[in-house]
Chain A
Amino acid sequence: MGRWLTLGIFALALAWALPAFAGESYKLQVGGLSCPFCAYGIEKKLSSLEGVVAVDVDLASGAVLVTMKDHASLDEATATRAVQAAGFTLKRFEPADDAASGG
Protein backbone atom coordinates (compact mmCIF):
# COMPACT_ATOMS: atom_id res chain seq x y z
CA MET A 1 0.00 0.00 0.00
CA GLY A 2 2.77 2.39 1.03
CA ARG A 3 4.70 1.61 -2.12
CA TRP A 4 1.69 2.38 -4.34
CA LEU A 5 1.12 5.65 -2.49
CA THR A 6 4.75 6.62 -3.01
CA LEU A 7 4.55 5.74 -6.69
CA GLY A 8 1.35 7.74 -7.06
CA ILE A 9 2.88 10.82 -5.44
CA PHE A 10 5.96 10.44 -7.62
CA ALA A 11 3.83 10.23 -10.78
CA LEU A 12 1.82 13.30 -9.80
CA ALA A 13 4.95 15.26 -8.99
CA LEU A 14 6.52 14.22 -12.28
CA ALA A 15 3.43 15.25 -14.26
CA TRP A 16 3.37 18.60 -12.49
CA ALA A 17 7.07 19.20 -12.97
CA LEU A 18 7.42 18.10 -16.62
CA PRO A 19 6.32 21.38 -18.21
CA ALA A 20 9.19 23.05 -16.38
CA PHE A 21 11.54 20.99 -18.59
CA ALA A 22 9.80 22.06 -21.80
CA GLY A 23 11.64 24.52 -23.99
CA GLU A 24 10.48 27.38 -26.15
CA SER A 25 6.86 27.74 -27.24
CA TYR A 26 5.66 29.35 -30.43
CA LYS A 27 2.29 30.72 -31.37
CA LEU A 28 1.29 30.13 -34.99
CA GLN A 29 -1.68 31.93 -36.52
CA VAL A 30 -3.00 29.56 -39.18
CA GLY A 31 -5.34 30.57 -42.00
CA GLY A 32 -7.95 28.17 -43.32
CA LEU A 33 -8.32 26.11 -40.16
CA SER A 34 -12.09 25.94 -39.81
CA CYS A 35 -13.19 22.44 -38.81
CA PRO A 36 -12.08 19.79 -36.30
CA PHE A 37 -11.25 17.20 -38.99
CA CYS A 38 -8.76 19.62 -40.58
CA ALA A 39 -7.06 20.34 -37.25
CA TYR A 40 -5.69 16.80 -37.10
CA GLY A 41 -3.53 17.32 -40.19
CA ILE A 42 -1.90 20.38 -38.63
CA GLU A 43 -1.29 18.56 -35.34
CA LYS A 44 0.27 15.62 -37.13
CA LYS A 45 2.56 17.67 -39.36
CA LEU A 46 3.80 19.93 -36.57
CA SER A 47 4.17 17.04 -34.10
CA SER A 48 6.46 15.23 -36.55
CA LEU A 49 8.98 18.09 -36.49
CA GLU A 50 12.14 17.40 -34.53
CA GLY A 51 12.08 18.79 -31.00
CA VAL A 52 8.32 19.34 -30.81
CA VAL A 53 6.79 17.93 -27.61
CA ALA A 54 3.25 19.37 -27.78
CA VAL A 55 0.90 20.94 -30.29
CA ASP A 56 -2.26 22.62 -29.04
CA VAL A 57 -4.79 23.83 -31.57
CA ASP A 58 -7.41 26.41 -30.72
CA LEU A 59 -9.97 26.37 -33.51
CA ALA A 60 -11.88 29.46 -32.40
CA SER A 61 -8.86 31.74 -32.72
CA GLY A 62 -7.04 29.78 -35.43
CA ALA A 63 -4.00 29.69 -33.15
CA VAL A 64 -1.64 26.76 -32.75
CA LEU A 65 0.74 26.63 -29.78
CA VAL A 66 3.86 24.57 -30.45
CA THR A 67 5.97 23.60 -27.44
CA MET A 68 9.55 22.45 -27.99
CA LYS A 69 11.91 20.25 -26.01
CA ASP A 70 14.38 22.00 -23.77
CA HIS A 71 17.10 23.65 -25.89
CA ALA A 72 15.19 23.00 -29.12
CA SER A 73 13.81 25.75 -31.30
CA LEU A 74 11.54 26.18 -34.30
CA ASP A 75 12.16 28.58 -37.16
CA GLU A 76 9.51 30.26 -39.25
CA ALA A 77 10.51 28.60 -42.53
CA THR A 78 10.12 25.11 -41.02
CA ALA A 79 6.76 26.03 -39.48
CA THR A 80 5.59 27.47 -42.81
CA ARG A 81 6.48 24.25 -44.63
CA ALA A 82 4.72 22.07 -42.06
CA VAL A 83 1.55 24.18 -42.10
CA GLN A 84 1.54 24.23 -45.90
CA ALA A 85 2.02 20.45 -46.05
CA ALA A 86 -1.14 20.12 -43.97
CA GLY A 87 -2.97 22.21 -46.58
CA PHE A 88 -3.13 25.54 -44.74
CA THR A 89 -1.45 28.94 -44.65
CA LEU A 90 0.79 30.32 -41.91
CA LYS A 91 -0.30 33.90 -41.25
CA ARG A 92 1.85 34.78 -38.26
CA PHE A 93 4.69 33.19 -36.32
CA GLU A 94 5.99 34.40 -32.98
CA PRO A 95 7.49 33.12 -29.75
CA ALA A 96 4.65 32.43 -27.33
CA ASP A 97 6.08 34.76 -24.68
CA ASP A 98 6.03 37.62 -27.18
CA ALA A 99 2.49 36.69 -28.15
CA ALA A 100 1.39 36.68 -24.50
CA SER A 101 2.89 40.11 -23.90
CA GLY A 102 1.44 41.42 -27.13
CA GLY A 103 4.89 41.76 -28.63
Chain B
Amino acid sequence: MTLHPSGAGRDGARLVALFVAIAALSLLPEPRSARAAPQTFNSALPVADGEFVLRGQFFHRKASSDPSPADRKVEVLGGIAVLGYGVTHDFAVFGVLPYLDKKLGMRTPGGTRTTRGTSGIGDMRFFARYTALQRDAPGRTFRIAPFAGVETPTGEDDERDNRGRLPPALQLGSGSWDPFAGVVLTYQSLDFEIDTSASYQFNTEANDFDFGDEARFDASLQLRLWPRTLGPGVPGFLYAVFEGNLVHRGKNDASGVRDRSSGGTTLFLAPGLQFVTRRWVLEAIVQLPAFQNLHGTALEDDLTVRAGFRVNF
Protein backbone atom coordinates (compact mmCIF):
# COMPACT_ATOMS: atom_id res chain seq x y z
CA MET B 1 0.00 0.00 0.00
CA THR B 2 3.01 2.24 0.26
CA LEU B 3 4.93 3.53 -2.69
CA HIS B 4 8.69 3.86 -2.52
CA PRO B 5 10.82 5.08 -5.41
CA SER B 6 13.60 2.48 -5.64
CA GLY B 7 16.39 5.06 -5.14
CA ALA B 8 14.75 6.40 -2.02
CA GLY B 9 14.30 2.83 -0.78
CA ARG B 10 18.02 2.10 -1.17
CA ASP B 11 18.98 5.33 0.60
CA GLY B 12 16.48 4.47 3.30
CA ALA B 13 18.05 1.05 3.85
CA ARG B 14 21.49 2.66 4.20
CA LEU B 15 20.13 5.19 6.68
CA VAL B 16 18.50 2.41 8.69
CA ALA B 17 21.81 0.51 8.77
CA LEU B 18 23.60 3.67 9.95
CA PHE B 19 20.95 4.27 12.59
CA VAL B 20 21.13 0.69 13.87
CA ALA B 21 24.91 1.02 14.12
CA ILE B 22 24.57 4.24 16.14
CA ALA B 23 21.90 2.65 18.36
CA ALA B 24 24.12 -0.39 18.94
CA LEU B 25 27.07 1.81 19.85
CA SER B 26 24.92 3.72 22.30
CA LEU B 27 24.26 0.48 24.20
CA LEU B 28 27.91 -0.12 25.01
CA PRO B 29 28.46 -0.24 28.79
CA GLU B 30 28.43 2.62 31.28
CA PRO B 31 25.79 3.76 34.22
CA ARG B 32 23.54 5.69 37.57
CA SER B 33 20.65 5.17 39.98
CA ALA B 34 17.85 6.74 41.85
CA ARG B 35 14.61 4.97 42.34
CA ALA B 36 12.21 3.67 39.74
CA ALA B 37 13.07 3.59 36.06
CA PRO B 38 12.81 6.95 34.35
CA GLN B 39 9.63 7.10 32.35
CA THR B 40 9.37 7.90 28.73
CA PHE B 41 8.07 11.28 27.83
CA ASN B 42 4.90 10.64 25.93
CA SER B 43 3.33 12.56 23.05
CA ALA B 44 -0.30 13.43 22.41
CA LEU B 45 -0.40 11.61 19.08
CA PRO B 46 -3.20 9.07 18.65
CA VAL B 47 -3.41 5.35 19.23
CA ALA B 48 -6.14 4.22 16.83
CA ASP B 49 -9.40 2.89 18.27
CA GLY B 50 -8.98 -0.81 19.09
CA GLU B 51 -5.30 -0.90 18.09
CA PHE B 52 -2.09 -1.57 20.02
CA VAL B 53 1.28 0.16 20.02
CA LEU B 54 4.33 -1.50 21.56
CA ARG B 55 7.37 0.44 22.63
CA GLY B 56 10.63 -0.97 23.95
CA GLN B 57 13.52 1.01 25.32
CA PHE B 58 16.91 0.04 26.70
CA PHE B 59 18.80 2.49 28.82
CA HIS B 60 22.07 2.84 30.64
CA ARG B 61 22.30 5.42 33.39
CA LYS B 62 25.35 6.44 35.31
CA ALA B 63 26.07 8.73 38.26
CA SER B 64 29.47 9.00 39.83
CA SER B 65 30.02 12.59 40.90
CA ASP B 66 29.95 12.02 44.64
CA PRO B 67 31.17 14.90 46.81
CA SER B 68 31.38 12.60 49.85
CA PRO B 69 34.40 10.40 50.84
CA ALA B 70 32.31 7.29 50.04
CA ASP B 71 32.98 7.93 46.34
CA ARG B 72 29.71 6.29 45.35
CA LYS B 73 29.20 5.19 41.78
CA VAL B 74 25.75 4.09 40.73
CA GLU B 75 24.67 2.53 37.50
CA VAL B 76 21.40 1.21 36.20
CA LEU B 77 21.01 -0.89 33.10
CA GLY B 78 17.42 -1.44 32.18
CA GLY B 79 14.71 -2.13 29.70
CA ILE B 80 11.23 -0.67 29.56
CA ALA B 81 8.29 -2.18 27.67
CA VAL B 82 5.28 0.05 27.03
CA LEU B 83 2.02 -1.27 25.63
CA GLY B 84 -0.57 1.27 24.51
CA TYR B 85 -4.15 0.51 23.53
CA GLY B 86 -6.67 2.84 21.92
CA VAL B 87 -9.94 2.40 23.84
CA THR B 88 -11.54 5.03 21.60
CA HIS B 89 -10.05 7.43 19.06
CA ASP B 90 -9.36 9.97 21.82
CA PHE B 91 -8.79 7.80 24.88
CA ALA B 92 -5.81 5.48 25.27
CA VAL B 93 -4.45 3.41 28.13
CA PHE B 94 -0.82 2.43 28.68
CA GLY B 95 1.08 -0.08 30.78
CA VAL B 96 4.80 0.34 31.47
CA LEU B 97 6.90 -2.61 32.61
CA PRO B 98 10.50 -1.90 33.65
CA TYR B 99 13.31 -4.40 34.10
CA LEU B 100 16.23 -3.05 36.11
CA ASP B 101 19.77 -4.04 36.96
CA LYS B 102 21.06 -1.66 39.67
CA LYS B 103 24.54 -1.47 41.10
CA LEU B 104 26.06 0.76 43.76
CA GLY B 105 29.82 0.86 44.24
CA MET B 106 31.28 2.67 47.22
CA ARG B 107 34.27 2.94 49.55
CA THR B 108 33.69 1.60 53.05
CA PRO B 109 34.91 3.49 56.14
CA GLY B 110 37.76 0.94 56.20
CA GLY B 111 38.86 2.09 52.76
CA THR B 112 37.94 -1.01 50.76
CA ARG B 113 35.70 -0.80 47.73
CA THR B 114 32.43 -2.73 47.73
CA THR B 115 29.55 -3.21 45.32
CA ARG B 116 25.92 -3.92 46.10
CA GLY B 117 23.12 -4.43 43.66
CA THR B 118 20.07 -6.26 42.46
CA SER B 119 18.08 -6.91 39.31
CA GLY B 120 14.52 -7.76 38.33
CA ILE B 121 11.11 -6.29 37.55
CA GLY B 122 10.60 -2.74 38.79
CA ASP B 123 7.45 -0.79 39.62
CA MET B 124 4.88 -1.01 36.82
CA ARG B 125 3.06 2.14 35.78
CA PHE B 126 -0.43 2.35 34.36
CA PHE B 127 -1.92 5.50 32.96
CA ALA B 128 -4.69 6.80 30.76
CA ARG B 129 -4.55 9.69 28.31
CA TYR B 130 -7.48 11.66 26.92
CA THR B 131 -7.22 13.95 23.91
CA ALA B 132 -9.03 17.03 25.16
CA LEU B 133 -8.27 19.24 22.17
CA GLN B 134 -7.56 18.22 18.59
CA ARG B 135 -7.07 20.60 15.66
CA ASP B 136 -6.30 18.84 12.39
CA ALA B 137 -5.37 20.35 9.05
CA PRO B 138 -3.79 18.74 5.98
CA GLY B 139 -0.24 17.76 6.96
CA ARG B 140 -0.40 19.01 10.53
CA THR B 141 -2.08 18.50 13.87
CA PHE B 142 -2.20 20.13 17.29
CA ARG B 143 -3.33 18.17 20.33
CA ILE B 144 -3.60 18.65 24.06
CA ALA B 145 -3.94 15.54 26.18
CA PRO B 146 -4.09 15.33 29.96
CA PHE B 147 -3.01 12.02 31.47
CA ALA B 148 -3.12 10.39 34.88
CA GLY B 149 -2.02 7.12 36.35
CA VAL B 150 -0.33 5.29 39.15
CA GLU B 151 3.02 3.65 39.79
CA THR B 152 2.31 0.32 41.44
CA PRO B 153 4.53 -1.53 43.93
CA THR B 154 5.35 -4.50 41.71
CA GLY B 155 9.11 -4.22 42.20
CA GLU B 156 10.80 -6.00 45.10
CA ASP B 157 11.24 -3.48 47.94
CA ASP B 158 12.98 -5.68 50.51
CA GLU B 159 16.05 -6.92 48.65
CA ARG B 160 18.96 -7.89 50.87
CA ASP B 161 22.54 -8.96 50.49
CA ASN B 162 25.15 -10.17 52.99
CA ARG B 163 25.38 -6.64 54.39
CA GLY B 164 21.68 -6.43 55.11
CA ARG B 165 18.77 -4.64 53.49
CA LEU B 166 19.64 -2.61 50.41
CA PRO B 167 19.04 1.15 50.68
CA PRO B 168 15.66 2.32 49.28
CA ALA B 169 17.19 3.92 46.18
CA LEU B 170 18.80 0.61 45.27
CA GLN B 171 15.62 -1.43 45.67
CA LEU B 172 13.77 -2.43 42.51
CA GLY B 173 10.54 -0.92 43.76
CA SER B 174 9.38 1.69 46.23
CA GLY B 175 6.69 -0.48 47.85
CA SER B 176 4.24 2.40 47.54
CA TRP B 177 1.32 3.36 45.30
CA ASP B 178 2.33 6.63 43.69
CA PRO B 179 -0.23 8.54 41.63
CA PHE B 180 0.85 10.96 38.92
CA ALA B 181 -0.84 13.35 36.51
CA GLY B 182 0.11 15.79 33.82
CA VAL B 183 -0.64 17.22 30.43
CA VAL B 184 1.12 16.87 27.09
CA LEU B 185 0.90 19.17 24.07
CA THR B 186 1.94 18.12 20.58
CA TYR B 187 2.22 20.10 17.38
CA GLN B 188 3.22 17.96 14.43
CA SER B 189 3.71 18.95 10.82
CA LEU B 190 5.33 17.06 7.97
CA ASP B 191 8.61 18.93 8.60
CA PHE B 192 8.87 18.98 12.39
CA GLU B 193 7.21 18.09 15.68
CA ILE B 194 7.16 19.86 19.03
CA ASP B 195 6.03 18.18 22.25
CA THR B 196 5.89 19.62 25.75
CA SER B 197 4.74 17.93 28.89
CA ALA B 198 4.33 18.95 32.51
CA SER B 199 3.69 16.34 35.18
CA TYR B 200 3.75 15.71 38.91
CA GLN B 201 4.15 12.46 40.83
CA PHE B 202 2.94 12.23 44.43
CA ASN B 203 5.15 9.66 46.14
CA THR B 204 3.60 8.00 49.14
CA GLU B 205 5.13 6.22 52.13
CA ALA B 206 6.06 2.55 52.34
CA ASN B 207 8.45 0.70 54.68
CA ASP B 208 8.68 3.87 56.77
CA PHE B 209 10.25 5.65 53.82
CA ASP B 210 8.81 8.32 51.54
CA PHE B 211 10.58 9.33 48.33
CA GLY B 212 10.24 13.03 47.61
CA ASP B 213 7.58 14.06 45.09
CA GLU B 214 8.74 14.65 41.54
CA ALA B 215 7.78 17.53 39.24
CA ARG B 216 9.02 17.59 35.68
CA PHE B 217 8.77 19.63 32.53
CA ASP B 218 9.79 18.01 29.26
CA ALA B 219 10.17 19.44 25.79
CA SER B 220 11.11 17.85 22.50
CA LEU B 221 11.82 19.15 19.01
CA GLN B 222 12.05 16.75 16.08
CA LEU B 223 13.25 18.01 12.72
CA ARG B 224 12.89 15.94 9.58
CA LEU B 225 16.35 15.44 8.07
CA TRP B 226 15.41 12.94 5.39
CA PRO B 227 13.86 12.83 2.89
CA ARG B 228 14.61 16.47 2.18
CA THR B 229 11.71 16.59 -0.26
CA LEU B 230 8.66 14.43 0.24
CA GLY B 231 7.95 11.96 -2.52
CA PRO B 232 4.73 10.02 -3.11
CA GLY B 233 3.31 7.47 -0.71
CA VAL B 234 4.55 7.05 2.85
CA PRO B 235 8.35 7.30 2.92
CA GLY B 236 10.33 6.67 6.11
CA PHE B 237 11.37 9.82 7.98
CA LEU B 238 14.71 10.40 9.68
CA TYR B 239 14.40 13.01 12.43
CA ALA B 240 17.02 14.86 14.43
CA VAL B 241 15.75 15.03 17.99
CA PHE B 242 16.53 17.59 20.70
CA GLU B 243 15.00 17.09 24.11
CA GLY B 244 15.11 18.88 27.42
CA ASN B 245 13.96 17.50 30.78
CA LEU B 246 13.72 19.71 33.84
CA VAL B 247 13.24 17.45 36.84
CA HIS B 248 12.76 18.54 40.44
CA ARG B 249 12.69 15.94 43.22
CA GLY B 250 11.72 16.72 46.77
CA LYS B 251 13.72 15.45 49.73
CA ASN B 252 13.19 11.89 50.90
CA ASP B 253 11.72 11.22 54.29
CA ALA B 254 13.00 8.28 56.37
CA SER B 255 11.15 7.45 59.60
CA GLY B 256 9.80 10.97 59.69
CA VAL B 257 13.22 12.58 59.24
CA ARG B 258 14.09 14.57 56.12
CA ASP B 259 17.14 13.34 54.23
CA ARG B 260 19.12 16.50 53.56
CA SER B 261 21.22 14.75 50.95
CA SER B 262 18.40 13.87 48.62
CA GLY B 263 16.38 15.60 45.95
CA GLY B 264 17.14 18.73 43.97
CA THR B 265 16.81 20.01 40.44
CA THR B 266 18.40 18.72 37.24
CA LEU B 267 18.15 19.92 33.66
CA PHE B 268 19.00 17.32 31.04
CA LEU B 269 19.66 18.18 27.42
CA ALA B 270 19.47 15.33 24.97
CA PRO B 271 20.37 15.06 21.29
CA GLY B 272 19.18 12.02 19.40
CA LEU B 273 18.02 10.42 16.18
CA GLN B 274 14.76 8.78 15.21
CA PHE B 275 13.84 6.80 12.10
CA VAL B 276 10.10 6.45 11.55
CA THR B 277 8.24 4.18 9.14
CA ARG B 278 4.58 3.10 8.94
CA ARG B 279 5.10 -0.02 11.07
CA TRP B 280 8.09 0.73 13.28
CA VAL B 281 10.31 3.38 14.78
CA LEU B 282 13.98 3.14 15.80
CA GLU B 283 15.35 5.76 18.15
CA ALA B 284 18.39 6.61 20.25
CA ILE B 285 19.16 9.54 22.52
CA VAL B 286 21.80 10.62 25.05
CA GLN B 287 20.66 12.62 28.09
CA LEU B 288 23.36 14.90 29.45
CA PRO B 289 22.94 16.93 32.64
CA ALA B 290 23.33 20.60 31.73
CA PHE B 291 22.49 21.90 35.19
CA GLN B 292 22.31 20.17 38.57
CA ASN B 293 21.41 21.76 41.87
CA LEU B 294 21.17 18.84 44.27
CA HIS B 295 20.83 18.87 48.02
CA GLY B 296 23.73 17.91 50.27
CA THR B 297 25.75 14.99 48.95
CA ALA B 298 23.07 13.70 46.58
CA LEU B 299 24.70 11.93 43.68
CA GLU B 300 24.92 13.82 40.38
CA ASP B 301 24.02 12.28 37.03
CA ASP B 302 26.75 11.67 34.46
CA LEU B 303 24.66 10.60 31.51
CA THR B 304 21.86 8.33 30.37
CA VAL B 305 21.87 6.59 27.01
CA ARG B 306 18.60 5.32 25.60
CA ALA B 307 17.84 3.27 22.50
CA GLY B 308 14.54 1.78 21.56
CA PHE B 309 11.86 0.88 19.08
CA ARG B 310 8.11 1.16 18.58
CA VAL B 311 5.88 -1.15 16.62
CA ASN B 312 2.36 -0.66 15.25
CA PHE B 313 0.38 -3.87 15.13
Count of A-B contacts judged by CB separation below 8 Å: 115
Name B262-287 residues within 8 Å CB distance of A: 276-279, 281
- Segment at the A interface, from B40-48, B111-119, B177-185: B40-48
Task: Determine whether the beta carbon of B136 is less than 8 Å from that of A85.
Answer: no
Name B219-236 residues within 8 Å CB distance of A: 230-236
**How many angstroms from the CA of A103 to the CA of B3 in the assembled complex?**
26
Number of interface residues of A (CB under 8 A): 33
**How many angstroms from the CA of A54 to the CA of B237 in the assembled complex?**
23
Chain A residues whose CB sits within 8 angstroms of the CB of B134 once the complex forms: 32, 89
Task: Determine whether the beta carbon of B277 is less than 8 Å from that of A37.
Answer: yes
- Write the A37-64 contact mask toward B (1 if CB under 8 angstroms, else 0): 1111101110100000011111111100
Chain A residues whose CB sits within 8 angstroms of the CB of B231 once the complex forms: 60
Number of interface residues of B (CB under 8 A): 40
Query: Taking beta carbons and an 8 Å cutoff, which residues of A are in contact with B?
Result: 29-41, 43-45, 47, 54-62, 84-89, 91
Task: Closest A residue to B45 by CB, please name it.
Answer: A38
Task: Determine whether the beta carbon of A32 is less than 8 Å from that of B137.
Answer: yes
In the complex, whether B11 has a CB less than 8 A from a CB of chain A is: no
Task: Determine whether the beta carbon of A36 is less than 8 Å from that of B236.
Answer: yes
**How many angstroms from the CA of A41 to the CA of B51 in the assembled complex?**
8
Task: Closest B residue to A31 by CB, please name it.
Answer: B136
Nearest first, the 7 closest Cβ-Cβ pairs linking A and B are A87-B46, A32-B136, A31-B136, A41-B48, A32-B141, A62-B138, A85-B49
CB-CB under 8 A for A87 and B86, given A32-B137, A32-B140: yes
In the complex, whether B300 has a CB less than 8 A from a CB of chain A is: no
Task: Determine whether the beta carbon of B281 is less than 8 Å from that of A31.
Answer: no
CB-CB under 8 A for A57 and B89, given A34-B139, A37-B278, A41-B48: no
Chain B residues whose CB sits within 8 angstroms of the CB of A59 once the complex forms: 139, 190, 230, 233-235
The one of B2, B137, B230, B276 that contacts A37, using a Cβ cutoff of 8 Å: B276
Chain A residues whose CB sits within 8 angstroms of the CB of B3 once the complex forms: 56
